[in-house]
Chains A and B, each alone.
Chain A
Amino acid sequence: MKNKIGNYLMIAAVITAGIVVLKSCKPKDMASAVSGNAAAQVYVAPGKYDEFYNFVSGGFSGQLNVYGIPSGRLFRVIPVFSVDPEKSWGYSEETKPMLNTSHGFVPWDDLHHLALSETDGMQDGRWLFANGNNTPRIARIDLKTFRTNEIIEIPNSAGNHSSPFITENSEYVVAGTRFSIPMDNTNGDVPINTYKENFRGTVSFIAVDKTVGTMSIAFQILLPGVNFDLARAGKGVSHGWMFFSCYNSERANTLLEVNASKNDKDFIIAINWKKAEDYFKAGKGKKQNVSYAHNIYSESTHSATSTIEKEVTVLDSKDCPDMVYFIPCPKSPHGCDTDPTGEYIVGSGKLAAIIPVFSFTKMKKAIADKNFDGDYQGIPVLKYDAVLHGEVKKPGLGPLHTEFDAKGYAYTSMFVSSEIVKWRLSDLAVVDRVPTYYSVGHLSVPGGPTKKPWGKYLIAYNKITKDRYLPTGPELCQSAQMYDISGEKMKLILDFPTNGEPHYAEAIPAELISKNSTKIFKIEDNMNPYVTKGEKMAKVERKGNEVHVYMTCIRSHFVPDNIEGVKMGDVVYFHVTNLEQDWDVPHGFAVKGANNAELLIMPGETQTLAWKPERSGMFPFYCTDFCSALHQEMQGYIRVSAAGSNIPISFSTGTNIEDATAGTK
């Protein structure tokens, strides 16, 4: 019987694959693009695990998404900068402080880039860092719990785009501002056309605690008022350096599409961060009064705290010689990627017809020889030819991003010509190209940004989906495409839809993370001030017009489940503790008319829902997460009386039963 079902499944898979191939014949070249065994390569049998986790940024959703590779199956949406009613992120009292900023509660952001923590230039599977573009923030996600444990706001920044990028031992995560702006400690209320006089850019070096990962802004570097785009840390030979791409060397403040595209070359900015560290330690930095939020979620108290920090140290690049150099790079560079050896820095000018590859060794020599081409705003500009390893000729149109494998090849996405180009680092020869559908943005190779890429797959995250999937109205699903890169030729083997909008992504071998995954929170270690450790401790307390319900849940009942004595004008806090100590048994909690969301409480955790009844009457509550055969019985009532009522607080489970004779009267 089992074998028969297996056979049917295989036949169905083959037929489906056949249909996919047939249907896809419509666009040109597709028949040759998908090869015969693609279905087998991406098929992960029921009950089997994927080989890699793929962490994919969620763009304007503000969240990030976790997929399996090679299957392309979605495992989880991790809420980061946006509220998420499914997980009560930003709705429960415990998580609300995570979205606090110096601008108040900001429940949305635009999450573009991810960086996995590294040890010795290799992914170590501990933390994942993500940027919020709009209200500049960096988040740290703990990969034991797949939850956002920390968010730090970045002062002196706007459009936090060139971040987060990480150094090879996670010493620093960097965050560069896209928009140059008047600094936070000056009056920003100035005419916009005083840009050249008043607007400046900064890049921030955020130190990461080696043991627990806690972030702190070590220092910022003040730079000319250009736009910072992307970055990469040096590694191996270039460890200690950070490279940022920038555009708008014209320093335009309007119609950048035209006005920031005039110069033949913009820059890659090379920063010697070891030198910056020395200047910082020597007291060269100036302390500035600023205001930024630092939010930390504790897995011990199961709640977040938000602190407003008031100071940041700024190193002015003009006061710190030998710390910053500009490398000319053609036509508004976007991607700025360092190869696994750290010797080559690949700049991708969005409007350039070539891809320049710079040599770190040559850069060091040019610096030593003072082989400069003048300066830009007081910062030495290195001679292009002195730093150049070579140019990749005729790669395609609109180069954006480059990832690497371990065999000496680079893969560059070509946005305008919708293709991926494979080229050799040693002689810069183009060796293969494949079409993407359509307008490819970021690329991801497992371990691609590290010293030792795992290779095997290349995933493209496309900007346009068009005819690839069943239409869903004006907005279509976002599209990823996966290529087998184990051979000489890249082979398209899978399309998979993603949540909007994918920018950068990283993939990591599954076992580096899965073996450490948290299964439960130990109830004994729960330090939430409102925890209820056992049903005996359940209670309801009135404090003025606040009513605190200390509630437990376990399959399949709440204690208490009958609550009376709440009055209009009260705010009811349901502090719900999940007493379960078994993996994958969360309970939910929802009460009728609540103006926020449900709670979803993990085993051993306490979460709080604040509820202000807007009318008197009877309000049912129930468990929202199917927990057992008697899940549908997991419910209760809370009675709300008029403001002047003299009904006392009372609560119970299993005892508040009508007198047996009452119904017969």
Chain B
Amino acid sequence: MKKILLLSAIVAFMYACSSNTEKKEPTESGPSANDLMKDDTVHYAPDAKGIGKFTHVDINPALNAKMAGDGNGIYDLKCSACHKLTKERLVGPGWEGVTARRKPEWIMNFATNTDEMIDKDAQAQAMLELCMVRMPNQSLSDDDARAVYEFMRKNDGVK
């Protein structure tokens, strides 16, 4: 039953969004659904940090190989079912280039504070309209999220 409710909520949400986009121009809060529906021309907000406990994360220019290795393990267990390491979208978007599109804070907030981000963050909501599946909260710890981010950097060529 709750899942039907969730589905209804999504449908209602979609309806609300579609009527909004007809009336309103995209605002500073993020790209419109129509923009994002064009898969290759997604309007990212590269400076957005999202909603959650991460407001500032220091990133060393050089890769932390140990941390990236841990992140790879977490990816295999909890993320790879939906995210490829290429640009190809499976259930969620492919990870290639994600560290250029998103701040580490946004990624780590999304990974650890998934539901609130989907409910409130304009960028996360736009991705939901694109992918149609709410990203599952995979119960990542703060350290897990940081390790996954390091693995994303490795995937994007950081040495």
Contact = CB atoms under 8 A, between A and B. Distances in A.
A is bound by B:
yes
A524 interface: yes
Interface stretch (B51-59, B132-140, B150-158): B132-140
A522 to B, nearest CB: 7
B80 A555 contact: no
Interface string A528-571: 00000111110000000000000010111101000000000000
B80 A536 contact: yes
Contacts of B81: 534-535, 552, 554, 557, 559, 579
A416 B7 CA distance: 52
- The interface size bin for chain B is 20 to 34
Interface string B74-85: 001110111000
A614 interface: no
Contact of B3 (A557, A581, A583, A627): A627
Contacts of A523: 77-78
B135 to A, nearest CB: 9
A584 interface: yes
19 contacts: A520-B139, A523-B77, A534-B81, A535-B80, A536-B76, A552-B81, A555-B82, A555-B91, A555-B134, A557-B81, A580-B138, A581-B139, A582-B114, A584-B2, A626-B4, A626-B7, A628-B3, A628-B134, A629-B10
Contact of B132 (A524, A581, A629): A629
Interface string B116-149: 0000000000000000111011110000000000
A625 to B, nearest CB: 8
A582 B132 contact: no
Given A536-B80, A579-B77, A581-B78, A556 B133 contact: yes
Interface of A: 520, 522-524, 533-537, 552, 554-557, 559, 579-585, 625-631, 654
A517 to B, nearest CB: 15
Nearest to B114: A582
Given A629-B132, A630-B132, A582 B137 contact: yes
Contacts of B76: 533-537
B14 to A, nearest CB: 10
B3 A626 contact: yes
Given A555-B133, A581-B139, A626-B4, A524 B77 contact: yes
Contacts of B139: 520, 522, 581-582
A629 B138 contact: no
A395 B90 CA distance: 72
A59 B90 CA distance: 49
Contacts of B91: 555-557
B132 A554 contact: no
Interface of B: 2-4, 7, 10, 76-78, 80-82, 90-91, 114, 132-134, 136-139
Given A581-B139, A582-B139, A628 B77 contact: no
A524 B138 CA distance: 11
The 8 closest A-B pairs by CB, nearest first: A581-B139, A534-B76, A626-B3, A582-B137, A554-B81, A581-B138, A534-B77, A582-B136
Nearest to A537: B76
Contacts of B3: 625-628, 631
A522 B136 CA distance: 14
A97 to B, nearest CB: 28
A583 B10 CA distance: 18
A563 B3 CA distance: 29
Contacts of B137: 581-583
A626 B91 CA distance: 17
B77 A629 contact: no
Nearest to B76: A534
Contact of A554 (B4, B82, B114): B82
B77 A580 contact: no
A394 B24 CA distance: 79
Contacts of A631: 3
B75 to A, nearest CB: 8
A627 to B, nearest CB: 7
A520 B137 CA distance: 11
B78 to A, nearest CB: 6
B3 to A, nearest CB: 4
A583 to B, nearest CB: 8
Nearest to B10: A629
Nearest to B137: A582
Contacts of A522: 139
B133 A534 contact: no
Contacts of A554: 81-82, 136
A626 B5 CA distance: 11
Nearest to A532: B77
Contacts of A580: 136, 138
Given A536-B80, A629-B10, 14 more contacts: A523-B77, A533-B76, A534-B76, A534-B78, A534-B81, A535-B76, A537-B76, A555-B91, A555-B134, A579-B77, A581-B137, A581-B139, A583-B137, A627-B3
A630 B133 contact: yes
Contacts of B114: 582
A181 B7 CA distance: 58
